[in-house]
Amino acid sequence: MNASSSRSVLLVISGSIAACKSPDILRLLKMADIQTRCVLTQGGAKFVTPSTLQTLSDSPVAMDLFPSHETESTMQHITLARWADLVLVCPASAHLLARMAHGLADDLASTLLLATTAPIIAVPAMNTHMWEHPATQHNVTTLKQRGVHIVPPAYGFMACGETGFGRMPEPSVIVDEVLTFFRTQKQKTGPLAGVKVLVTAGPTHEPLDPIRYIANRSSGKQGYAIAEAFADQGALVTLVSGPVTIPPPAGVRVILCETARDMHKAVMTTCPYDIAICTAAVADWRPETQENQKIKKPDTPKTNTSAPYSLTLVENPDILAELSHPSPLRPRLVIGFAAETENLIPHAQAKLHRKGCDWLIANDVSPAHQVMGGDHNKIFLLSRHDNKIEAWDTLPKTDIACRLVHHVLTCESAWRSSSK
């Protein structure tokens, strides 16, 4: 299940060596559940084949303004221009940028770029001197003034052997621009427009000394997926994350932190929120003292058995319990997670009432289930107000996230109609 499958991007690929990266862009757009179609210029076709693009976009690649086959429409420039929610010109060669700036319509790509009323993102990629040439810079300024969003080229080593600005940014950076565009649009029109959502995610690290810490195996994947799913429906999402290896999601405010106390501070200083989802595996305790220098082993002769080293731990603030506490600032919906390794439901029920949140999502994180660090999850959703327990099938974490958002939307509309 994905709530955002109606988004469509028309990828216009022009003649730059960076066109060879367009299959990666199509793959990432597909993974984000965005429909794609491709227009390939004659120059673009020197660097990537139509059949590769057709395979990845699941549709024929358009190349000609006046197709040779009678079955193909001569109005493709209009149908494609109307089909797209967004036109992504990537890579945008110096020549295509110039034709766009001057309103030329001498091939399919340039003609549909005149015909479309959809927003346009252009990603220039070319040799540094071509990029810095006053003619190109003038064309880029003209296009920006007309509302075309330009993703500036990156700095680095280029295929021509020079180093400088002109490289196409990595495909993930370009796809993040596309996702940010759609999420920003949804913040005006989506079902959760104007709703402030907090997601905590990942583990916390509790330092012992400058190089050691106490941590847990949380990857942050479930929390990050939930943050993205809420953003896809137009919510203003703040993701407060412990140390993870996942890149920050597009169109989401991300606050990175290390310890439970950092996470607590980040949450409390950014309140209030309408909805809070605490997925973070917050360390319950931290070492009472953090040494300024590396803790050394006692200098005892090897023959002696050294004495055990003991740590004193003190309790960390409980973010979920504090958010759930009745107060004028309490989010209207507080959702916690229960990571358990035994007696899942009884422990989760006790936790739900102890913390005072509205819903608790219980999952079994025993190593055998491979939930921590894995891509799938099996959850039970417990509701405090009606004592209901829903068992969900094992699903990818991204699908759990979409289903959770759908559940929130369903409940919110029921609450709205019952309070009328």
Which residues are known to be catalytic?
A: 160
Residue 260 sits in the site that holds ligand CTP (CB under 6 A): yes
Q: Which is nearer to ligand CTP, 133 or 261 (CB)?
A: 261
Six token digits for residue 230: 């809420």
| 179 versus 357: smaller Cβ distance to ligand CTP | 357
CA distances from 312 to 210, 262, 281, 290, 298 (A): 17, 20, 21, 11, 18
Between CA 29 and CA 11 the distance in angstroms is: 10
The nearer residue to ligand CTP, 170 or 340, going by C-beta atoms, is: 340
Would you count residue 282 as binding ligand CTP (CB under 6 A)? yes
| Nearest of 277, 265, 263, 269 to residue 203 by alpha carbon | 263
- How many binding residues for ligand CTP (CB under 6 A)? 16
Q: Is 373 left (phi over 0), alpha (psi -120 to 50) or beta?
A: left
**What is the nearest approach in angstroms of ligand CTP to the Cβ of residue 352?**
10
Q: Which is nearer to ligand CTP, 126 or 339 (CB)?
A: 339
Nearest approach in angstroms of CB 330 to ligand CTP is 14
Residue 200 is a binding residue for ligand CTP (CB under 6 A): yes
Q: x/- site string to ligand CTP, residues 106 to 135, per CB under 6 A?
A: ------------------------------
E strands along 26-119, which residues? 35-40, 86-92
Residue 353 φ/ψ, nearest 5 degrees: -80, -35
Draw the binding track, 303-342, toward ligand CTP (x: CB under 6 A; -: no contact).
Answer: -------------x-xxx---------------xxxx---
197 binds ligand CTP (CB under 6 A): no
Q: Is the dihedral of CA 349, 351, 357, 360 positive or negative?
A: negative
How far apart CA 91 and CA 14 sit, in angstroms, is 6
Nearest distance, CB of residue 343 and ligand CTP, angstroms: 11
Rounded Cα distance between 269 and 322, Å, is 13
Q: Does 17 bind ligand CTP (CB under 6 A)?
A: no
> In angstroms, what is the minimal distance from the CB of 359 to ligand CTP?
10
Q: Which is nearer to ligand CTP, 32 or 283 (CB)?
A: 283
- In the complex with ligand CTP, the residue whose CB is nearer, 133 or 407, is 407
Interacting positions 346-405 with ligand CTP (CB under 6 A): 351
User: To which residue do tokens 């730059």 refer?
Assistant: 16
- Phi/psi of residue 143, nearest 5 degrees: -65, -40
Q: For residue 364, is it left (φ>0), alpha (ψ between -120 and 50) or beta?
A: beta
Closest residue to ligand CTP, judged by C-beta, is 319
State the nearest-atom distance from the C-beta of 29 to ligand CTP, in Å.
Answer: 32
Q: In whole angstroms, how close is the CB of 318 to ligand CTP at the nearest point?
A: 4
Given 90, 278, 352, 379, the residue binding ligand CTP (CB under 6 A): 278
Neighbours of 168 (CB within 10 A): 27
Q: Near ligand CTP by CB under 6 A, which window of 125-133, 139-147, 273-281, 409-417?
A: 273-281
CA 300 to chain centre: 52
Alpha-carbon span 39 to 193, nearest angstrom: 33
Least Å distance, CB 366 to ligand CTP, is 13
Structure token pair of residue 164: 């400088």
Residue ranges that bind ligand CTP, judged by CB under 6 A = 200, 260, 278, 280-282, 284, 316, 318-320, 336-339, 351
